Amino acid sequence: MNKNIFFKKIKKISVNEICKKLKIKNITKKKIYLNDIKTLDAASRNDLTFLHSSKYLKLIPKIKSNFIITSSKFQKYLPKKNIFLVDDVLLGVASITELFYPDSLNENFNYRASSDQNLFRSKKVTIGSNVLIGKNVKIGNNSFIGHNSIIEDNVIIGKNCSIGSNVILKKTIVGNNVNILDGAVIGKKGFGFFPKKGKNLRYPHIGMVIIKDNAEIGSNNTIDRGSLGNTIIGENTFLDNQVHIAHNVKIGKNCIIAGQVGFAGSSEIGDNVLIGGQAGISGHLKIGNNVQIGGGSGVIKNIPDNTKVMGYPAKDIKLFLKENKKWQIN
């Protein structure tokens, strides 16, 4: 989904305005307007994008945008485009995101939301007691909303879904045949901060959470929405209780994630992945297809397809078992 249904964007912003916001000299005398701010892989020609880490150098050949925020450290890697040169790239991106999306840091809910079941009666939707439903919410046929849940503005829930009690859905699109168990909190802002002169400044999160068909989200899961991109849970993926998924994480289809697993931001998990309980996945990693990760493991580097790992730091399971042979039960 390309259109952002949760945040209102200013139509276009001039390069001159962006330079003023970044507190740098104007990079062109031409009157040029940019459409949006997006990640390197998503930005089109007249969007603004950014490069802040060597982990994303591999995306440079795919860049379509002509306007890039970066630092002197990465300028040499970029083609001759319109470069906004700053000292702190992510701080600059945060300020420009607020320029395009003025309400991007607003977490307030419409507390006058209706709980009138008549709004969805024609679709045979069952709604429990003390449920709050925001404006422009869409709920598919034969879905169920449990007691004390909050469905915030513009959320979309597909057909044949079961939303448990005490669930909060915000900035979220739910597919068909999805089960979300009690106590889950989905679509809140991610844990993004900038320490600056003794203060922690918030990073805007204008993305959403997308939960695809036939997925199951366990009790008390917390899934943060994306910053510029989206957080995605793939089709037929099941999450056990108390799993935490940070902003921009993308989990493929047919995955099984056991309880208390934690994913740091912007990691990508392939299809058919199995992860044991209490494992931790560091940020900005790529976990391949058909990977198995043992319980309690700490993953700090990419894992290729069809690999089994365990331990802290996670290593090939055969090596782990060999090194820990004395602890094995015969």
pLDDT tens column, 231-249: 999 999 999 999 999 999 9
The residue with greater pLDDT, 216 or 195, is: 216
Q: Is 1 exposed, middle or buried (0-12, 13-18, 19+ CB in 10 A)?
A: exposed
What are the distances in angstroms from CA 74 to CA 25, 28, 89, 111? Answer: 19, 20, 10, 45
Q: Does the pLDDT of residue 289 top 80, yes or no?
A: yes
Q: How far apart are CA 136 and CA 94, in angstroms?
A: 28
Please say if 247 is a catalytic residue: yes
All domains of the chain, ordered by start, with CATH?
A: 13-100 (3.40.1390.10), 117-326 (2.160.10.10)
The band of 107, judged by pLDDT with boundaries at 50, 70 and 90, is: confident
Q: What are the Cα distances from residue 180, in Å, to 138, 160, 166, 183, 254?
A: 16, 12, 11, 9, 16
Could you tell me if 251 and 267 are in contact, meaning their C-beta atoms sit under 8 angstroms apart? no
Mean pLDDT of all residues in the chain?
A: 92
pLDDT at residue 112, rounded to an integer: 61
Res 328 pLDDT > 70:
no
Strands 193-196, 199-202: pairing kind: antiparallel
pLDDT value for 114: 64
| pLDDT score of 117 | 61
What local confidence, expressed as pLDDT, does residue 116 receive? 59
The per-residue pLDDT for range 64-106, each reduced to its tens digit, is: 999 999 999 999 999 877 999 999 999 999 999 999 999 888 8
> What pLDDT is stored for residue 3 in this prediction?
74
A 10 A CB-CB count for 238 gives: 17
The single residue of 52, 205, 244, 247 carrying the catalytic annotation is 247
CA–CA gap between residue 195 and residue 184 (Å, rounded): 29
What is the reported pLDDT for 254? Answer: 98
Going across the sheet that includes 274-275, the strands are 126-127, 144-145, 162-163, 179-180, 216-217, 238-239, 256-257, 274-275, 292-293, 308-310, 315-316
Q: Is 24 left (phi over 0), alpha (psi -120 to 50) or beta?
A: beta
Residue 168's closest CA among 227, 233, 102, 109?
A: 109
**Whole-angstrom Cα distance, residue 175 to residue 235?**
9
CA within 13 Å, CB half, 291? 26
Cα–Cα distance measured from residue 132 to residue 41, given in angstroms and rounded to the nearest whole number? 37
Residue 319: pLDDT over 70:
yes
pLDDT tens sequence across 1-58 = 557 889 989 889 999 999 999 999 999 988 999 999 999 999 999 999 999 999 899 9
Tell me which H or E stretch contains 79. Answer: none
Taking the C-alpha atoms of residue 141 and residue 126, their distance in angstroms, rounded to an integer, is: 10
Q: Is 267's pLDDT higher than 80?
A: yes
Q: Which residues of 66-83 are buried (b: 16+ CB within 10 A; e: fewer)?
A: bbbbbbeebeeeeeeeeb
* Main-chain phi, psi angles of 325, to 5 degrees: -60, -35
Asked whether the beta carbons of 238 and 29 are under 8 A apart, the reply is no
Convert the pLDDT of each residue in 121-137 to its tens digit.
667 899 999 999 998 99
Average pLDDT over residues 162-167: 98
Three-state SS string over 263-322 comes to: ECCCCEECCCCEECCCCEECCCCEECCCCEECCCCEECCCECCCCEEECCCCEEHHHHHH
First to last CA, the chain: 52
Nearest to 215 by CA among 171, 162, 280, 170: 162
